[in-house]
Structure 1
Amino acid sequence: MSLDTVVEDIREEAHARAEDIRETGETRAEEIESAAEADAEEIVAEAEAEADREIEQLREQRLSSAKLEAKQKRLEARRDVLGNVREEVEAELASLEDDTREELTRDLLDAASSEFDEDDDVSVYGRSDDRELIESILADYDGYEFAGEYDCLGGVVVESEQSRVRVNNTFDSVLEDVWEDNLREISTQLFDQ
């Protein structure tokens, strides 16, 4: 074997090895590129899924906020309507006709008088516009006298020093009790169609 042949063999062997290395490198590069593309596709898919989740969550939050705001506005509107109804009832009570006002005032005074002893000195307070009415009713009661004005829609506040009892039988207090006891029914009649 000559030196040229050995050099040629080494050269061919080096070219063959270089070709193998190149092919292995290309194969490896393709594998890396393919894996990188798969990873990139997976990252994009995860990012899209996360974006979709965030969009859905944001949509649900906004929808929930909108529903809550609508509910609050509905409740405010209902409160306003109930307040208006209450004001109308109070206006009706304040403007009751004489006979009806006298009958109700007498009933409220009768109910309050059951709380006092016969020998008690009883003070009766009422609306300033009802002073004459109350004084005329008190003519039927021994030991009872009109003691002054009380800011109310009508009715009476009755008290006695001896028995240390005070009874609030005003239209306002009766309305408050009736209103509280029947608020659910009132709301149902006004709002549930």
Structure 2
Amino acid sequence: MGLEVVVDEIKAKGDREAAAIKAAAEAQAKEIVNEANLRANEIRLAAEKDADTQADRIMIREVASANLVVKRDFLNAQKELLDKVYTSAAEEIANLPADVHAKAVRELLKESAKQIKAGVVFTNARDEKAAKEAISGLKTLSGFTFGGITDIAGGVVVQSTDGQLTLDFSYQTFMGEVWETSLKDASEILFG
């Protein structure tokens, strides 16, 4: 019987040690699982935060892109309207009565004579007669000749006889100068 007691004691001690090892292992496993859960939660929160940040960035990019498209379309519409205004103004000038164009040609030739003493005058077909009449009728234009028709909406282009100087007193040139200096004002009037 003495051996059985020793065996039972060893067995009991082994069971206690096994239970202690098992309890320690379970506690360690529980701690590992808790740490893993905490880490998984941290990863999940970080991933959610990253996803939110990415979504915000995408939203900001998309909004900025949409704003650029709207702004570009708005600017294109403004430009189109300004181009229509310019074209309309050019048409209005072109459709003025013949006597207005004749007077303009005469005055522009007088101005040319102040800058060039002798030269060749070019006009469009409509203003040819007015230019020839001014050249033959005004003493200050005695050094000028009619050079022919050129592609302008109105006004005159005068070239010095030596070809060194050309005065562009065409309607397009005047309109371009006025347009450039008045574009900001026109934009403010049209678009506020």
Range of TM-score over shorter length: over 0.9
AA partner of residue 151 (structure 1): D
Does the aligned pair in 1 maintain the 2:105–2:127 contact within 8 Å?
A: no
Looking at structure 2, the residues matched to 189 and 158 of structure 1 have their Cα atoms a distance apart, in angstroms, of: 36
Percent identity at matched positions? 28
Does the aligned pair in 1 maintain the 2:102–2:127 contact within 8 Å?
A: no
The structure 2 residue matched to 1:134, chosen from 117, 121, 131, is 131
What is the number of equivalent residue pairs in this alignment? 189
The SS at the match of 1:123 is strand
Which residue is equivalent to 1:53? 53
- Runs of 5+ in structure 1 lacking a partner? none
AA partner of residue 183 (structure 2): L
Looking at structure 2, the residues matched to 133 and 104 of structure 1 have their Cα atoms a distance apart, in angstroms, of: 9
Report whether the alignment pairs 1:190 with 2:187. no
Does the aligned pair in 2 maintain the 1:108–1:156 contact within 8 Å?
A: yes
What TM-score results when the alignment is normalised by the length of structure 2?
0.94
> How does 1:1-193 map onto structure 2 within 5 Å?
2-117=2-117, 120=118, 122-139=119-136, 140=138, 141-162=141-162, 164-192=164-192
Looking at structure 1, the residues matched to 179 and 100 of structure 2 have their Cα atoms a distance apart, in angstroms, of: 20
- Note the aligned Cα RMSD (angstroms): 1.3
Cα offset for 1:2? 2.0
The SS at the match of 1:114 is helix
Runs of 4+ aligned structure 1 residues displaced above 6 Å come to none
What TM-score results when the alignment is normalised by the length of structure 1?
0.93
Cα offset for 1:99? 2.7
